[in-house]
Structure 1
Amino acid sequence: MTAEIAPQKQMRLRYAGTCRLCGLELAARTLAVYERASQTVRCVDCSEDTTAEPPVVDPGAPGASARREYQRRRAKDEQAIRDRHPRTARLRLALGSERRSTKSWATGATGEEQLGAALERKASNRLRVLHDRRIPGSRANIDHIVVTPAGVWVIDPKRYVDQRPVRRVEGGVVRPRTERLFVGGRNRTPLVEGVEKQLGVLREIVGSDVPLRGVLCFIEASWPVFGGDFRIREIDVVWPRRLHAILDEEGPLVESRIEQLYQQLGLALPPA
């Protein structure tokens, strides 16, 4: 009795090919699905049923988790004052100011909301946007993910009013070369490291063939009249208008691939 041959099988390609569904170029050794009848290949993530409706992706709300954390901390601070000073709590709350650690969450949420609204106005079939995505197994989140022809972008907005971001380079001859980010004279290099970690999360999801870009976007910062943006450790440091300009860059991703990546990332990283 002759064994039945499966109509398709998952395999690593011996030669480069093109996905028959989304048009993505598949390099040799890429894991793909080989379809025997048509002798074609398709991406592992591409559905064989082209008539099926794509899953609904929740794009998320800009700054939602930061705003919730601010409200939680504010309520906790106010309750602590009521417990310690029951007779004068109302007056203390009216005249007092919020703790800096609590207020910083409101500042961050406002920055995310402002940038998120601007990205939504720019959104199209060639620019898909996800906001406030939770990283599974972690308390961290990614503020904005944007998919364009140039690739997938991690965008981390920061609101440092009237403070100037600068890059400081040290070493390079005798000592190892180091790059550090300073904002308003204070070392903020951990912000760069945070974006690098987020890019690592996305790389695990989209694979090695998708261009990834990381951006720190400083809102209401102090910038020189001409120029001022720079790149540090492959992370772009820009202001909002400059961000919009670089998001318009062309690249290798066609609209169908942009939509596929949007769906893939939106389902893998749920709203925070």
Structure 2
Amino acid sequence: MGAISLQLEKLQHLQVLILSNNNFSGVIPSSLSNLKAMKNQTESSNVLQYSNSSTMSYVDKMEIVNKGQFLEYAKSLAMVRCLDLSGNNFSGDIPRGIGFLIDLKFLNLSRNHLSGTIPTTFGNLVKLESLDISRNNIIGYIPGELQLLTYLSYFNISYNNLSSRILIGGQFLTFNGGSFSNIAHLCGLQINRSCSSSLSPKFTQDEDGSEEEWDEDVWWEVGIGLSFGFGFAIFIGVLCFNKKYHFKCFKTMDEFIFILDQYVKENKF
């Protein structure tokens, strides 16, 4: 059937694009990131209802593959944002621009020949409820940014070539082993497979165009340090600014500094 028309980006009111189970090929156009209705929720969320007489009317309905099942949407159809390109012959990388369609609720790119990595921009899809990129040739790691998707209730990356520790933040502990089937180099609690330290999940920060990778252990240490510092600051604040303990606080601090100074002098540090 060939490639997707680049003219699709002109459909600025398009909320649902389902091209599943066809023979489209080539790369997924980066211009899909210009679909305005998938970037910004329209003000109207009314039921799409039509009538030509007082006795005859109908309401738009649509079946969408959501969370691995066919679900019918009618009353809430006006609020649905869906991009389904599954079951085709698309190849190449997943466009980073898809991560800027911030009103998407359902994204299905499964059963293609896509390669490259999972875009870190997917962390922008904070309204996403279902993400399926299974049965492709995706490599690399699971981006830590996906832990930001707090509405995500269905996730499937099975049958890919990822090498990563499965995330444990956000919604990830709610996903079972079926979300990660047939990936030899994955490890984590969800599939009962222990990990080496080299397979820590990574968080990429590219605001300035560069990438900086932080593994899970670093985030853990930073979190502990910040928690301790915050708690200590509150403790000192209560002691020093409460009139009842104000004098005792500074007297104790003076004594501590004096003792520390004497210790340093005696040991000739």
TM-score, with length taken from structure 2: 0.21
Q: Which structure has the greater CA radius of gyration?
A: 2
TM-score with structure 1 length normalisation? 0.21
